[in-house]
Amino acid sequence: MRRLPVLLCALFLVATATPASADPPPDPVPGERPPLGITWATGDHYCLYNSGEDVVKAAADQLVSSGLRDAGYEYVMLGDCWQAAQRDAEGRLAARTAFSPSIPALVDYVHSRGLKIGFFSGTGAKTCSGQAAGSLDHEDLDAQTFAGWGADYLRYDTCYSVNGDAPARVKKMADALKRTGRPITLEVDDYDRDQSPWLWARAAGAHVWRTYRNATFDFGYSTGSLDQQYGLGGYQGPGGWNMPGSFTFSYLDTAERQAKLGLWAVLNAPLVADMALAADTTLPAAELTNPDIIAVDQDWAGVAGHKVRDTGWTEVWTKPMSDGSAVLVLFNRGELAAPITTSVADAGLPAASGYRVRDLWTGAETETTGALGGTVGRHAATVLRVWPGGATAAPRTSLTVELPDSVPPSQPVTATVRFTNAGSTPVTGAHLQLTAPAPWQFDTPAQADAAIVEPGATWETAVTLHPVPTATQAVKMPATVTYTTTQGARTATASAEAPLMLAPNPPYTNGLLSTQPWISSENGLGPVERDSTDNGHPLTINGKTDAHGGLGAHAPSVVRYYLGGRCRQFTATVGIDDRGPNGTAGFRVLGDGVELEATGDMRHGDAAQHLAVPVTGVQVLALAVDDASDGPAGDWGGWLAPYLSC
């Protein structure tokens, strides 16, 4: 008789007890959507200051307080070196001293914040860092350990795989994870990229796989990763995603951050912020929580985003959306603001009388009959979502300011301003205001007016300005047009920039261009370097260096020099630098935009070519490195002893 009250009391306690942690349910289908979250970078140098338990908890708290969790960022993924170099007495993975002895307590804390947690291991006896234990021959034990802790994610590196056995080793861990009964998302981290995981990772049981070998820290590495994504869209979809790299955002300014997020979203890439650096302890929630960008990233309409237009420094990417709309990214990787031309045709949208356009960063909505171009700043992107069908909105307009590629420091220059109405209703009362850059003055009025700009029409104005007395800075001229639409007053802004021509010093004793100032330089990865390449490595072609030094470039690259018609000949030795063992590139010498000499496509290992190019009368000399039409991966090129005879 006494057992019934005891049983009822027990049932009451079970029913009313508050759980110690709110463990969110694991994904029913791991990898169904590209994961969103934070992580810590890997590698031996990061292990020196790798995060501990307090840092992980603080990062989890910030995901909650910043609104990132509610926006969809749910994963807290530990990096390499969370674990000790040696296993415990029972052969299980053990945490480093920076973590408490009870990893389950950390898991419970992360889960209590409504988040999910991931760990790191590898296919070898050691992880990539060489300082932490991997899972070789312990796959079942480690899988059971992770599942027992309540893990939701596993990053799995392949650094110590041998003889092409990475797929088999990954599958062994994937099968072990499945046997635990707990859905755990599995990411393959192939830091060599030599094993092409996109070809086999899904079949091996993985849900995410890296498609770029380096961390995408700065803008150069981010564009380098973007270039590696060509042709990989067909390997991803629900259940398996390409991972082009995380966000170490302290290296990026706001425009670069927005460009990268927009491009990664179009690629359906995992959006993962890297917390490895002290400067990155405050997450940029303003950009990361943008609901329009997240919606693009998480939407799968059966086709991955892809590039539809490339003019060298400007590109257009597009991605279909499941509701029949499409996203377009107008991307400028160059150093100067540039106009980019595109239309609904690039997005593959059906014919319609009009289209609704939403700028996903500003939130502004307009309507267009088809044109979508505009001016995009340096290292920036305009991200547009476009729906077929009419919209009650202001007409979409574009403002561009065209300047010469470079300007002389003591002569007048003409700029052409174009304001286009791409909508279906007229624009009235358009007023143009230009601002002269110091130390330049306008020879013509800096203002102009147009009573009406009809749908589809372009209002064009030319202005001339001159330096006072001699320019010492590049021309940077902002422009603003205020106007009225059926939806009220609007403003369009743009800016144009042209570098200043600087003549080289008279080369009486030294005519090396690598010692002279250039007008401008553009480079595919990082800056053009003097006497080195790829962050200070000596210029080396087929194992040989040149004592005279030179210019280190990465395709696509252009370096421009102002000669002023004073020189006779340019000479150089060119070839693929040993920093790019798989590089393919072509070298061209141009005078005033006309090709004077070209090597054709060259590969690493090809004999260096010596160029001797007449340049009599040439005003502007351009040294270009092209990517041989196969993408710029590894395309490091050297201009050895670039000599100018004047």
pLDDT tens readout for residues 499-518: 777 666 554 345 889 888 88
Specify the pTM.
0.82
Element of type H or E holding 79? none
Instruction: Quote the CA–CA distance of 535 and 636 in Å, as a whole number.
Output: 12
Q: Which of 595, 627, 626 is nearest to 611 (CA)?
A: 595
Instruction: Quote the CA–CA distance of 458 and 271 in Å, as a whole number.
Output: 39
- Indicate whether 3 pLDDT > 50: no
Q: What is the pLDDT of residue 506?
A: 54
Q: What is the pLDDT of residue 511?
A: 83
- Indicate whether 17 pLDDT > 50: no
Mean pLDDT of 216-245: 89
The CA-atom distances, in angstroms, between 150 and each of 104, 144, 290 are 8, 10, 30
Q: What is the pLDDT of residue 49?
A: 59
Instruction: Quote the CA–CA distance of 27 and 100 in Å, as a whole number.
Output: 27
3-class secondary structure, 10: helix
Q: Which of 363, 374, 581, 377 is nearest to 458 (CA)?
A: 374
Q: Write the single-letter amino acid at 54.
A: D
pLDDT in tens, 378-432: 999 999 999 999 778 999 999 999 988 778 788 899 999 999 999 999 999 999 9
pLDDT in tens, 312-329: 788 999 999 999 999 999
Instruction: Quote the CA–CA distance of 196 and 213 in Å, as a whole number.
Output: 10
- Domain spans, the chain: 398-502, 511-645
What DSSP character marks residue 279? G
What percentage of the chain exceeds 70 in pLDDT? Answer: 92
Q: What's 511-645's CATH class?
A: mainly beta
pLDDT in tens, 531-587: 988 878 899 999 998 888 899 999 989 998 888 888 999 999 999 999 888 899 999
User: What burial class does residue 261 get, using C-beta atoms within 10 Å of its C-beta: 0-12 exposed, 13-18 middle, 19+ buried?
Assistant: buried
Total Cβ atoms within 10 A of residue 368: 25
Instruction: Quote the CA–CA distance of 270 and 261 in Å, as a whole number.
Output: 10
Across the beta sheet with 636-645, the strand order is 529-530, 550-554, 636-645, 569-576, 609-614
Q: Which of 246, 184, 179, 180 is nearest to 210 (CA)?
A: 246
Cβ-proximal residues to 594 (8 Å cutoff; 6+ apart), any chain: none
For the residues of 291-329, what is the DSSP string, one character each? HHHHHHHH---SS--EEEEE-SSEEEEEEE-TTS-EEEE
**φ, ψ for residue 212 (rounded to 5)?**
-150, 135
- pLDDT interval class at 225 (50, 70, 90): confident
SS3 sequence of 336-360: CCEEECCECCCCCCCCCCCEEEEEC
Total Cβ atoms within 10 A of residue 451: 8
Total Cβ atoms within 10 A of residue 617: 13
Higher model confidence: residue 632 or residue 165? 165
Average pLDDT, the chain: 88
Instruction: Quote the CA–CA distance of 646 and 637 in Å, as a whole number.
Output: 25
The CA-atom distances, in angstroms, between 583 and each of 213, 322, 559, 632 are 16, 38, 20, 8
Q: What is the pLDDT of residue 375?
A: 93
User: What burial class does residue 475 get, using C-beta atoms within 10 Å of its C-beta: 0-12 exposed, 13-18 middle, 19+ buried?
Assistant: buried
Total Cβ atoms within 10 A of residue 86: 10
The CA-atom distances, in angstroms, between 287 and each of 228, 242, 271, 284 are 24, 22, 12, 6
**φ, ψ for residue 284 (rounded to 5)?**
-80, 75
SS3 sequence of 503-530: CCCCCCCCCEHHHCCCCEEECCCCCCEE
What DSSP character marks residue 93? -
pLDDT in tens, 81-97: 899 999 999 999 999 88
Pairing of strands 447-453, 427-434: antiparallel
Across the beta sheet with 380-388, the strand order is 306-310, 314-320, 326-332, 380-388, 355-359, 365-368, 394-395
- pLDDT interval class at 259 (50, 70, 90): very high
Total Cβ atoms within 10 A of residue 565: 13
Architecture of the domain made up of 398-502: Sandwich (2.60)
